[in-house]
Amino acid sequence: MTSELPYGSWPSLITAEAASAASPRIDGARFVGEDVWWGEPVPAEAGRVAVRRRGDGGDVEDVLPAPWNARSTVHEYGGGAWTADEAGTLFFVEKTDQRVYSVVDGTVRPLTPVAGHARHGGLEWRDGVLLAVREEHDPGLAVPRRAIVRIPVDGSAADDDAAIVVLVRGSDFVAQPALSPDGTHLAWVAWNHPNMPWERAEVRVGRIEGGTVGEWTAPVTGDRSVLQPRWLDEQTLLYLDDASGRWNLMRWRLGDEAPRASFAPADADTGGGLWVLGLSWYTIADDHVVAVRTDGADHVVTVDPATGATTTLPVPAVSGVVIEDARGARALVSGAVPGGGTGVWSVDASDGTVVAVRESSPPWGEEWTPRATAVTVDGPSGPVHAFAYPPTNPDVTAADGERPPYVVFVHGGPTSHVGPVASSRAAYLTSRGIGVLDVNYGGSTGYGRAYRERLRGQWGVVDVADVVAAARGLIDGGLADPDRVAIAGGSAGGWTVLGALVTGDVFSAGISRYGVGDARALAEDTHDFEARYLDGLIGPLPEAEQLYIQRSPLTHAERFSAPLLLLQGSEDAVVPPAQSEAIRDALSARGVPHAYVLYEGEGHGFRRAETIVHALESEYAFLGAVFGFDTPGVAPIELQR
């Protein structure tokens, strides 16, 4: 029998501790001998990334034990921090020193020297060769220098930096190296400032002569995003190209003219924002391609390269899908499922069989997990896509006629995407009677290039208008209490939170995690990977300086009136604490209710269990204080003025 309580004050078995440990994301997966290995963060161990496998008895065991932490900081966001060979040798980047190590039978030894200026990521093992992206932060360089390198696996470079072979450099950024099966050619992705890889990037192909790449060519060039080269055979290269408006699979033979059309065209994206190294949207499994296609939600398909024939596979993941590895006709796929769990599945491209390798579900029952409803509303720039999650609790209901409070989630990036899966953060709130609306505002991936480019030159305008339109859609549909709608976002999402609070009155409260308040300061202070990102989002400096000033929420500090919670990591190199602290000071000067929490040792994104727990409880307590409901089991928060 259910009880009746006001929205927001519902007792819930989904504690912040349970939410922090639920369904960890998968950080790479590989076939190794007869096993499958995968990486996953461990919040209870300071967020380190462990590499794991399933032992003979079925229990999960660590291949990379504590305190080792497989985490790259190339581009600050890292990625591709581990790989393995067929015999069971693990290669990984240790977070603390960014050296590459190998692990054989539990013995860890360095493969690269002690060099505080060098970082590694995007590890790629193919046919006895270990490739990596190397990023050098030499004090004598104005900006980091990057290259694709070959690292000897015999340990000969552990004390000799000269033993690391630089295969190619010459562009501001490199990623996704692919060695041809006969070892004669290298393909890779390259791009230069001021572009981001989803704006303009090219695949380059060069012959390896004397151990390095000399001359190279690009199958296609121009205003397109070309990603993830993979060799079908010694002469044939597959890659992704969004010239049609969608990232689709392309095929090119050495020496041929550029292809004019995809061999498997689709009104969906096989590709996305290359924020981290090691991402893979397809792989080659014998005579088939296994790929993810995204149009709001993800689905996995097999494609026959000869005919283009496509078959959808029954992989349960619908969000964050990565095509990790292949062996023979089998491919490894990771992602998140509608119930909030994550997993790794082995799919057989020859017959469509899908076998779960590792699945995790939240520790609470499915009756506690909200299911996504796809929502589309009209915005000033066109349709706006979102996923709605209503209050969900099997034991409690609200009085007839009461409308629930809602929190509008704004993802970071801004060139990113959320799929139809309730995060543990969302379930924590919905189980307490607070609805969540997750918005893919204009500029998000997953809906084609035209949708992405709505934000070009319009950051702080289109994103703000879209989240406002999404919130008004909830209110106009009678789904949310118009006086109790909050907005929450992190990083670029925090910018949109702050922008929405100073340009309108639809939101009664805001939560900003390491949000951007001053675009001009961000352009000066942020790291090299995003140093020119704002050229496309707002405009180049100094020509567009007045736009930077006009768009920045801090410029309009006198318009802040809604209560605001600010959460920040002390070691954030992407959005430094000065941004949140400037907002805090502006709120204090105006007497606006607020709270500021600085988490020591955290960077851009919270990883430690204790931080995640405190942040969740702080957000819930903040909403209770602002919207006037009790927060059972969570202490009140003190708001400053």
**Is residue 442 over pLDDT 70?**
yes
Decide: helix, strand or coil at residue 74.
Answer: coil
The pLDDT of residue 35: 92
The pLDDT of residue 58: 78
- Class for domain 3-15+372-627, per CATH? alpha beta
**Is residue 44 over pLDDT 90?**
no
**Structure-token match 């400032």, residue found:** 193
Q: Average pLDDT of the chain? A: 95
**Is residue 200 over pLDDT 90?**
yes
**Is residue 422 over pLDDT 90?**
yes
The pLDDT of residue 260: 79
- Strands (E) across 453-529 are located at 485-490, 509-513
The pLDDT of residue 1: 66
579: left (phi over 0), alpha (psi -120 to 50) or beta: alpha
Please tell me if the domain spanning 3-15+372-627 has the same topology as the one spanning 26-274.
no
Q: How confident is the model at residue 353 (pLDDT cuts 50, 70, 90)?
A: very high
**Is residue 46 over pLDDT 90?**
no
Please give the C-alpha separations between residue 414 and each of 399, 454, 464, 498, in angstroms, as whole numbers. 38, 12, 12, 14
Tokens linked to 404: 């629930």
The candidate with the shortest Cα–Cα distance to 110, out of 123, 94, 122, is 94
Cβ neighbours for 515, distance < 8 A, ≥ 6 positions apart: 489, 490, 491, 493, 494, 495, 497, 498, 566, 575, 579, 580, 583
Euclidean distance between CA atoms 316 and 377, whole angstroms: 27
Of 102-106, 342-346, 431-435, 574-578, the range with the lowest mean pLDDT is 574-578
- Strands (E) across 94-247 are located at 100-104, 107-110, 118-126, 129-136, 145-150, 165-168, 173-179, 185-191, 202-209, 212-217, 226-231, 236-241
Tokens linked to 399: 């009085």
Omega before 43 within 30 of 0, i.e. cis: no
Domain boundaries, the chain: 3-15+372-627, 26-274
The candidate with the shortest Cα–Cα distance to 256, out of 200, 284, 217, 228, is 217
Cβ neighbours for 338, distance < 8 A, ≥ 6 positions apart: 316, 318, 371, 372, 420, 421
Strands 282-285 and 288-295: antiparallel
8 Å CB contact between 72 and 48 = no
The pLDDT of residue 606: 87
Please give the C-alpha separations between residue 407 and each of 152, 272, 475, in angstroms, as whole numbers. 51, 26, 12
pLDDT tens-place string over residues 268-315: 999 999 999 999 999 999 999 999 999 999 999 999 999 999 999 999
What is the rounded average pLDDT of the residues 34-58? 89
**Is residue 549 over pLDDT 80?**
yes
pLDDT tens-place string over residues 233-252: 999 999 999 999 999 999 99
Q: How confident is the model at residue 504 (pLDDT cuts 50, 70, 90)?
A: confident
Of 56-65, 159-168, 508-517, the range with the lowest mean pLDDT is 56-65
Q: Could you say which of 2.60.120.10, 2.130.10.120, 1.10.357.10, 3.60.20.30 is the CATH number of the domain covering 26-274?
A: 2.130.10.120
8 Å CB contact between 516 and 492 = yes
Half-sphere exposure of 85 (CA within 13 A, CB side): 13
Decide: helix, strand or coil at residue 538.
Answer: coil
pLDDT tens-place string over residues 128-165: 999 999 999 988 888 899 999 999 999 999 999 999 99
Percent of the chain with pLDDT over 70: 100
Question: Got the DSSP string for 393-434?
Answer: -TTEE--TTPPPPEEEEE-SSSS----S---HHHHHHHTTT-
Tokens linked to 165: 């072979």
The secondary element (H helix, E strand) that includes residue 294 is: strand 288-295
The pLDDT of residue 280: 98
The secondary element (H helix, E strand) that includes residue 29 is: strand 29-32
Tokens linked to 516: 């951007």
**Is residue 391 over pLDDT 70?**
yes
- 22-53 as b/e: b if 16+ CB within 10 A: bbbebbbbbbbeeebbbbbbbbeebbbbbbbb
Euclidean distance between CA atoms 169 and 159, whole angstroms: 23
